Structure 1
């Protein structure tokens, strides 16, 4: 796969190594958004079928990305919305313990914490190992050991958002299934950058925001539900999610029947005529690129950086448990974080700081010049 920076509008004089914070907008996605704005000038161009068809196409495309059927997918505005939809529909007779990782992203942690408090469940936090040696391996093992017959649910990010630590979703999903434990995953920092199969990994709910690795707009996302969560109670009772919604003349023929599968969980105003087409356009571009090629591009691009770091006082996670597209760099004691940040800023390098480490996240718009500039700056 070749560099794709020409499809974006990033300035040539910056080195944006921060896709985990927010992706730049594709030109094609921007164009679709502008078309949507212009379309609202004349509402006669918006027909009843437009409330549904684009959403169904988007679900089909998302399904291709994660190996799911379209009927298993709902459209949501945020990870917190998706987490609430999934966690609040968990059965209460399925174990007394809920598991979450230390430093989990707040959207998942707060929702699970509140569910535990409300339903008298115990919240077990799997601590990150203090030692940097084999940290990812030991963290994965601690998580797997904690899952047992008393575990109601495991909630985690597929890739830890602070440092890119990889978690073996297939092994975790297998252990969850063996113990009848529900498995809920925040895929925001991996879906679109790494391959994921919700069936192979036995995932019950996978929620993703669109504005990072999916290259979509803010306030859009999706959630996948396995069949055993189809019968839950949605956060809101949108008319669009009822079985008779397509017939505008009979909307007041009230029905208790929802649309198929996970459709009941769609956020109200699902057919957003601006954001939804933008999201669909970004997913179509991802499918065109193929996520396997995106991941390989990131791996090849960052290889010189990885080799430099391995032979320097800096520390990174070992290869097996380090994401190709997102990883943290721990600083040696003799390097002051504030001084390093000043050097990065002076060289127009954009990264994130998480704790005492810097987080690097690369994608198809990044170039070898971006990596070379970062390496030279880290040598200061």
Structure 2
């Protein structure tokens, strides 16, 4: 795969290695948004079918991306927290079991479970990362698997850790969850789009993804897969579009109890957003053309030399087999201030993030060797300072 920078409007004097924070916009996605705004000039051209056609297309594309068995298992959401709160609302309430999360997990995938535990007798169990760097990812996964037992109600986790890219073995975790009847809920915001994800292989009960990072979409739209255990779930809000027969605008006064099939019941109100939905469609079409496996390999090849040199400079990085290539954290030698390093990077128009105890590097297909070289030069100069 070749560099795709020509499909974006990125300035040559900036090195944007921070897709985990916010993706830059594709030119095609930008144009789709402009067309959506222009459409509001002539509202008489918006027919009832427009409220459904693009939404159905969006579901189909996301289902294809994650290999979901049916497109109607996909819900259109405004955020990851909305989707995860939907899960929390539909968990069994008469429970004294535990919910497992990992240390320093993103708060959107923690706060709903904290509230759930406050409202029930459930306990939140946090599996922290091992202190020692050697074999850290492998041992962290082992600790998670050891914690899953007959008292586990749910494991809520990401495919990768959002601060440092540590990979979690979702196939093994999912298998153990199914053996004891526990739910598996995945926040795929920091992986889906850049790392292959297969619903039918991992078999989660829910997969929730914000759209503005690795899915290359706009802000304030997210997508969620809800599995069979949520088939009869109750949505956070009662939208008219989500009810059976809503395609017949003349019959909307005939109120019905039945929802549209599958997970459409969980859609956010006004899900047919005529600006955001077309933008998200264009973004997913491009991702499917590129294919996540190719994006992952591109990032691996792009950063391989940097990764090999980091330990020689005193930086710590997770073992290759236990981290992603599109997002990874580097931990600093004691003599380097993370705050000062980030300021130095910013002064040279090199854009990364500090998350937890790591400097987070998050390249994508718009990055090129010059970006990595600029980063490496700053890290080298910092690492040589005593």
Give the TM-score category using the shorter length: over 0.9
Maintained 8 Å contact 2:96/2:123: no
Partner of 2:24: 24
Q: 1:46 corresponds to which residue?
A: 46
Query: 1:94 Cα shift?
Result: 6.3
In structure 2, distance between residues paired with 1:379 and 1:218: 35
Q: Deviations over 1:293-344 (max 9, x none)?
A: 1111011001111111132211100011111100101000122223322321
Q: Number of residues paired by the alignment?
A: 380
1:34 aligns with 2:34: yes
Q: Cα distance, 1:95 vs. partner?
A: 6.0
For residue 351 of structure 1, what is the aligned residue in structure 2? 352
Q: State the Cα deviation string for residues 116-136 of structure 1 (Å, max 9, x = none).
A: 110111111111111111111
Q: Which runs of 4+ in 1 moved over 6 A?
A: none
SS of residue paired to 1:160: coil
Q: Which runs of 5+ in 1 are unaligned?
A: none
Residues of 1 paired with 2:283 and 2:42: CA distance? Answer: 25
Match of 1:323 in 2: 324
CA distance in 1, matches of 2:354, 2:318: 16
* 8 Å contact from structure 2 (residues 96, 120) kept in 1: no
Deviations 1:261-283 (A, max 9, x none): 11100001010000000001100
| Mapping for residues 193-272 of structure 1, pairs under 5 Å | 193-272=194-273
1:356/1:96 CA distance change after superposition, 3 Å: closer
- The residue aligned with 1:62 is 62
Q: 1:180 and 1:311 mapped to 2: Cα distance?
A: 46
- In the alignment, is the contact (CA less than 8 A) between 1:94 and 1:181 conserved in 2? no
DSSP 3-state at the match of 1:379: helix
Partner Cα distance (2:96, 2:339) in 1:
46
Aligned partner of 1:103 in structure 2 is 104
1:230-258 deviation line (CA, Å, top 9, x unaligned) = 10110000000000100000001111000
User: Cα offset for 1:160?
Assistant: 0.6
Cα separation, 2, equivalents of 1:121 and 1:345: 44
Separation of aligned partners in 1, 2:79 and 2:174: 24
Q: Distance in 2 between matches of 1:66 and 1:80?
A: 20
Alpha-carbon distance in structure 2 between the residues aligned to 1:123 and 1:299: 35
How far residue 167 of structure 1 moved from its aligned partner, in angstroms, is 0.2
Inter-partner Cα distance in structure 1 for 2:243 and 2:342: 52
- Whether the aligned pair in 1 keeps the contact of 2:313 and 2:380 (CA below 8 Å) is no
Distance in 1 between the 2:344 and 2:64 partners? 42
Matches within 5 A, 1:78-93: 78-93=79-94
Deviation at 1:351, TM superposition (A): 0.3
Residues 45-81 of structure 1: per-residue CA shift (max 9 Å, x gap):
1110000010001100000100012011000000110
Query: Given that residues 99 and 155 in structure 2 are in contact (C-alpha distance below 8 angstroms), is that contact kept between their aligned partners in structure 1?
Result: yes
Match of 1:284 in 2: 285
What are structure 2's unaligned runs of at least 5 residues? 382-386
For residue 339 of structure 2, what is the aligned residue in structure 1? Answer: 338
Contact 1:95 1:149 in 2 (8 A): no
Instruction: Please give the alpha-carbon distance, in whole angstroms, between the structure 1 residues aligned to 2:136 and 2:325.
Output: 17
Listed one character per residue, the Cα deviations across residues 165-212 of structure 1 (whole Å, up to 9, x for unaligned) are 110011110010001000000000000000011121120000000000
TM-score, reference length from structure 1: 0.98
Verify: 1:73 aligned to 2:59, yes or no: no
Indicate the SS of the match to 1:259. Answer: coil
The answer to whether the Cα contact below 8 Å between 2:183 and 2:205 also exists between their aligned partners in 1 is yes
Counterpart of 2:37 in 1: which secondary structure? helix
- Taking a change above 3 Å as real, the CA distance of residues 47 and 215 of structure 1, as seen in their structure-2 partners, is same
Q: Give the whole-Å Cα distance in 2 for the aligned partners of 1:322 and 1:212.
A: 18
Secondary structure of 2:125's counterpart equals strand
Residues 310 and 9 from structure 1, CA distance in 2 versus in 1: closer, same or farther, beyond 3 angstroms? same
Cα deviation, residue 147, structure 1 = 0.6
Structure 2 distance, partners of 1:64, 1:339, is 43
Q: What SS does structure 2 have at the residue aligned with 1:86?
A: helix
The answer to whether the 8 A contact 1:238-1:267 is kept is: yes
For normalisation by structure 2, the TM-score amounts to 0.97
Q: Is the 8 A contact 2:98 2:153 kept in 1?
A: yes
For 2:24 and 2:245, how far apart are their aligned partners in 1? 39
SS in 2 for 1:200: helix
